[in-house]
Amino acid sequence: MHFSDRLLQWYSVNGRPLPWRQTNDPYVVWITEIILQQTRVDQGMEYFYRFLEAFPDVASLAAAPIEKVLRLWQGLGYYSRARNLHAAAKEIIENRNGQLPQTYHDWLKVKGVGPYTAAAIASIAFNEVVPAIDGNGFRVLARIFAVKEKIDTSKGKKIFQEIAAELIDNKKPGAFNQAMMDFGATVCKPASPKCPYCLFNRECLAFLDKSVDKLPLKKERKKPRSRHFNYFYFFWEENDGQTYFLVNQRKDNDIWKNLFELPLIETSQQAHPDKITASETWKFWFPGPSNKVLPVSTLVISHPLTHQTINARFFRMKINPDETKFLIKNFHAIEHTAFEKMPKSKLMVLFLEKIKNFTN
Q: Is pLDDT of 359 > 60?
A: no
Q: Is pLDDT of 360 > 50?
A: no
pLDDT in tens, 135-193: 999 999 999 999 999 999 999 999 999 999 999 999 999 999 999 999 999 999 999 99
Question: pLDDT at position 61, please?
Answer: 97
Buried b (16+ CB within 10 A) or exposed e, 168-197: bbeebbbbbbbbbbbbbbebbeeeebebee
Tell me which fold the domain 3-214 belongs to.
Endonuclease III; domain 1 (1.10.340)
Contact 331, 342 (CB under 8 A): no
Q: Is 146 left (phi over 0), alpha (psi -120 to 50) or beta?
A: left
**Measuring CA to CA, which residue among 112, 109, 100, 137 is closest to residue 25?**
100
Is it true that 3-214 and 225-357 share their CATH fold? no
Q: What is the DSSP letter of 24?
A: -
Name the strand (E) or helix (H) holding 66: helix 66-73
Q: What is the DSSP letter of 344?
A: B
pTM: 0.85
Helix (H, G, I), strand (E, B), or coil: what is residue 76? coil
pLDDT in tens, 255-271: 999 999 999 999 999 99
Q: According to DSSP H, which parts of 214-322 are helical?
A: 273-277, 280-285
Parse the chain into domains and list their residue ranges.
3-214, 225-357
**Measuring CA to CA, which residue among 122, 215, 217 is closest to residue 177?**
122
Instruction: State the pLDDT confidence band at 285, using cuts at 50, 70 and 90.
Output: confident
Angle between helices 173-186 and 3-14 (to 10 degrees): 70
Helix (H, G, I), strand (E, B), or coil: what is residue 234? strand
Question: pLDDT at position 290, please?
Answer: 66
pLDDT in tens, 98-128: 999 999 999 999 999 999 999 999 999 999 9
pLDDT in tens, 86-104: 999 999 999 999 999 999 9
Q: CA-to-CA distance for 133 and 186, rounded, in angstroms? A: 16
pLDDT in tens, 286-317: 887 667 778 777 789 999 998 899 999 999 98
Tell me which fold the domain 225-357 belongs to.
Nucleoside Triphosphate Pyrophosphohydrolase (3.90.79)
Please identify every residue annotated as catalytic: 33
Average pLDDT over residues 216-240: 89
Beta-carbon contacts of residue 119 (< 8 Å; ≥ 6 apart) = 104, 130, 131, 132, 133, 177
Instruction: State the pLDDT confidence band at 356, using cuts at 50, 70 and 90.
Output: low
